[in-house]
Structure 1
Amino acid sequence: MHSSSVDSSQRASGGYQAWVVGLLSLNFGILFFDRNALNFLMPFVQPDLHLSNTQVGMFSSALSLTWALSGLAVGRISDKLGSRKPVVVVATLAFCLCSFASGLASSFFMLLGARLLMGAAEGGVMPVSHSMIVSEVAPERRGMAMGVAQNLGSNLLGSGLAPLLLVPVAATYGWREGFYLAAAPGLITAVVIWFTLREPPAEVHDAAQPKVALSEAFRHRNVVLCAIISVLLVSYLVVCWAFMPLYLTKVRGFAPETMGWLMATLGLSAGIGSFVVPAISDAIGRRPVMIGFAFLGVILPLGGLYYTGSPWMLAAIFFLGWGLNGLFPMFMATIPSESVDPRLTATLTGVVMGTGEVLGGVLSPFLAGALADVYGLSAALWLMLALCILAGICALGLVESAPRVVARRTLAPA
């Protein structure tokens, strides 16, 4: 579609490509472990710091705001400077320090400040990581590679391991120790990234081709729809992370340990979906997968609201409903990068992710918390239901962009 690309002779071996994707996925997983730690520790933090549901929502809103602003700024700066590896390393070290600071907080405002700083540190990591993957990984494996980088580590560690590890630590030693534990691993991955990854090769393109402006990218329907879907599904995720642990313990009456492994089911689902969902879209197309999995998300809040049988069956409902998490790298990076000039990959990822975080991640948890204070915690689950239905409706308008599917359709008349 576009002549801008990385010369295939500059790409490293398949083994190195796999190492880049795996290491960046691990690093983003540790980042999400830090980001989600407060959500899983909230049943312990809320009574200790005497927090209202509105204040609980404000923590997610604050982190999402600075995450979004950071993603918008850092992705653009990285594209202009052509420097990516140092950005990822510095950001990784910074969010580890912010996790430690969260454990030191003794009031609502101290913890709020720590979350604001954490969002600023973390927001630029994924846009720049996606840019590195576009430069290093062969195009035919790009969808799955982006899915693994964004979703595998983040969900196995941030949604899967985090509740299983942090809840027992908080129950035994205290919630502050949970934050200290979350701070350590990123220091290791920062060092490994610095010493084992190269600065990716610069993209090469036809010198006669004019420079592409960001405003031109937003003339494409896919970019606009992906930004709207980002708002809706980021809202779905942050509302679930912020309020589902409280709903399961305070409304459904589950023990914190049971809540922990039910929430861990989401991490297992998204970890598998991180490569399965994008791989399916590589084969059959982005659009049908976006539509199907967005609507599938309705079963999670409905299960939480109405299913009263075995917790194991509830876990299965959670597992299936959370499959929409596999869509995130597709609408945040893959579809926009396939629809417009790939030189804008980091910038567009930052814009789409930033739009979702600002309009969805900032406003929705505050709204959900306010509704929960008035109508009860079940209001947050009804909000989740509406969000995924709207996302599915928006996905109906996407233009297919998967290279294999587009190529098949181009050759079909012949």
Structure 2
Amino acid sequence: MEGNQESAGRRGAGYQSWLVGLLSLNFGIVFFDRQALNVLMPYVQPELGLTQTQIGLLAGGLSFTWAIAAFGIGKLSDTIGNRKMLLVLSTIAFSLCSFLTGLASSFAFLLGARLLMGAAEGGVMPISHAMVATEVSPKWRGLAQGVAQNLGSNLLGSFLAPVILIPFAAAFGWREAFFLAGIPGILSAIIIWFALDEPKRPSSPANAADRMTIRQALGTRNILICVVVGVLMVAHFVTTWAFMPLYLTQQRGMDGPSMGWLMGSLGLAAALYSFLISGLSDRIGRKPVMVALPFLSVLGPLGALYFDGPAYVLAAIFFIGWAVNGIFPIFMATIPSESVDARHHATVLGLAMGSCEILGGVFGPPIGGVLNDAFGPSAFLWMLIALALVSGVVATFLRETAPARVGGQS
């Protein structure tokens, strides 16, 4: 556990709130760009003639380079200490990659654009979480990291992306929708550069022997469990977004706008749960929510498989099941940052996020695509159910880290 010395030099509550809000907005723009291809796939697939396996490879490819960047840039930010500069450069780079996606004329071109986008986006969240861990009081860390990761990403990426981009693509074309998606990141980078201060750098390890290696990090029980749960749940998340829009339109017969609003309900749900679940974990502990919510998430795929009633009721089923999204910042950031010294925050956060992406995000969607091609378009839903159930079981082995439950600092 980290020591009390971490609180020295922490800025006031007003700046802490401003920091979390701006980082949340920036990551929302990241996810707006990332989700754009998923929600526009009903328009992209026919023009480029993509198979289900290729759709899975596009999602997995972005996750692969995202994962590499998450660990590499997280480690770099610990080494050089200039986190704000790296965050600004990453934000500009992923915005340019959105423009490049709109120029794609083949599967190979599109895959290349998404690989570059993943490399640009991957470092954003480890740096952001490290900034939050340094600047925000541990009493509110779970809530702050939940808001930073979940609120903006789900309001912008999971809600507004389908609601805005689908009608825009229907009116002007899917390529133009990607050009639109790239603009906000440029503006966000400018705001971050002028509005945020560089966080105070934690004291460096006295010698090389004090630095944390990957093996040492994985030797910490909670980090290993968070990585395993993260791999399973990121596969669940990315596979859902890769195939659910197509499933709802092609198998459930929904029109584009109805599908967009239904998928958007996931974004509203996750935005709400970014407060409720992360804040709840500050009070009752990290472990109870980590165990319970994966089991609850099976409601979504079961509803897609078997519920034949009104779309708004199906949206409510999705809304309840998607409460699991509230645990993402807990296993990616909160528990890891509460399990090691502050000097190693960006390193272990990059490891946690990178491992989740490279194993869950990279392999989940291609496996889902292969299953769909082999057994039918609903096969990925059974895969989602299995991932959720195993995640809940693995989370039972966590050790509690919430300060309110283990007598930590306030």
**Is this a same-fold pair by TM over 0.5?**
yes
- What are the superposed Cα offsets for residues 23-68 of structure 1, whole Å, 9 maximum, x if unpaired? 0000000000000000000000000111111111110011000000
| 1:104 equivalent in structure 2 | 103
Residue identity over aligned pairs, in percent, reads 54
| Secondary structure of residue in 2 paired with 1:308 | coil
**Runs of 4+ off more than 6 Å:** 205-210
- Aligned pairs for 1:320-331 (under 5 A) are 320-331=320-331
| Secondary structure of residue in 1 paired with 2:260 | helix
Normalized against structure 1, the TM-score is what? 0.96
| 1:170 equivalent in structure 2 | 169
The RMSD of aligned alpha carbons is 1.6
Contact 1:31 1:122 in 2 (8 A): yes
Report the AA paired with residue 44 of structure 1: Y
- Aligned-partner Cα distance in 2 for 1:13–1:339: 25
| 1:192 equivalent in structure 2 | 191
- Aligned-partner Cα distance in 1 for 2:282–2:2: 19
| 2:77 equivalent in structure 1 | 78
How big is the shift at 1:121?
0.1
| 1:245 equivalent in structure 2 | 245
Contact 1:25 1:148 in 2 (8 A): yes
Report the AA paired with residue 359 of structure 1: L
- Aligned-partner Cα distance in 2 for 1:153–1:220: 30
Contact 1:104 1:176 in 2 (8 A): yes
Please tell me whether residue 381 in structure 1 is matched to residue 403 in structure 2.
no
- Aligned-partner Cα distance in 1 for 2:217–2:37: 36
| Secondary structure of residue in 2 paired with 1:2 | coil
Report the AA paired with residue 225 of structure 1: I
- Aligned pairs for 1:244-283 (under 5 A) are 244-283=244-283
Normalized against structure 2, the TM-score is what? 0.97
- What are the superposed Cα offsets for residues 251-302 of structure 1, whole Å, 9 maximum, x if unpaired? 1111111100000000000001112101100000100011111111110000
Report the AA paired with residue 223 of structure 2: V
- Aligned pairs for 1:13-412 (under 5 A) are 13-204=12-203, 211-214=210-213, 215-407=215-407
CA change 1:207–1:299 in 2 (3 A) is same
Contact 1:31 1:158 in 2 (8 A): yes
- Aligned-partner Cα distance in 2 for 1:194–1:177: 28
How big is the shift at 1:364?
1.0
Report the AA paired with residue 84 of structure 1: R
Moved more, 297-306 or 195-204: 195-204
- Aligned-partner Cα distance in 1 for 2:96–2:207: 46
Report the AA paired with residue 327 of structure 2: L
Report the AA paired with residue 282 of structure 2: D
- Aligned-partner Cα distance in 2 for 1:341–1:198: 22
- Aligned-partner Cα distance in 2 for 1:226–1:178: 36
Contact 1:4 1:341 in 2 (8 A): no
Contact 2:125 2:149 in 1 (8 A): yes
How big is the shift at 1:135?
1.2
- Aligned-partner Cα distance in 1 for 2:205–2:124: 29
Report the AA paired with residue 392 of structure 2: G
Any unmatched runs of 5+ in structure 2?
Answer: none
How big is the shift at 1:167?
0.5
- Aligned-partner Cα distance in 2 for 1:291–1:36: 27
Any unmatched runs of 5+ in structure 1?
Answer: none
CA change 1:14–1:286 in 2 (3 A) is same
Contact 2:202 2:343 in 1 (8 A): yes
CA change 1:400–1:7 in 2 (3 A) is closer
Report the AA paired with residue 309 of structure 2: G
How big is the shift at 1:202?
1.6
| Secondary structure of residue in 2 paired with 1:388 | helix
- Aligned-partner Cα distance in 2 for 1:382–1:2: 40
Contact 1:4 1:205 in 2 (8 A): no
| Secondary structure of residue in 2 paired with 1:280 | helix
How big is the shift at 1:140?
0.6
Moved more, 289-298 or 204-213: 204-213
| Secondary structure of residue in 2 paired with 1:184 | helix
- What are the superposed Cα offsets for residues 226-253 of structure 1, whole Å, 9 maximum, x if unpaired? 0001100000000000000000000111
Aligned residues: 408
| Secondary structure of residue in 1 paired with 2:352 | helix
How big is the shift at 1:206?
9.7
CA change 1:13–1:382 in 2 (3 A) is same
- Aligned-partner Cα distance in 1 for 2:385–2:153: 23
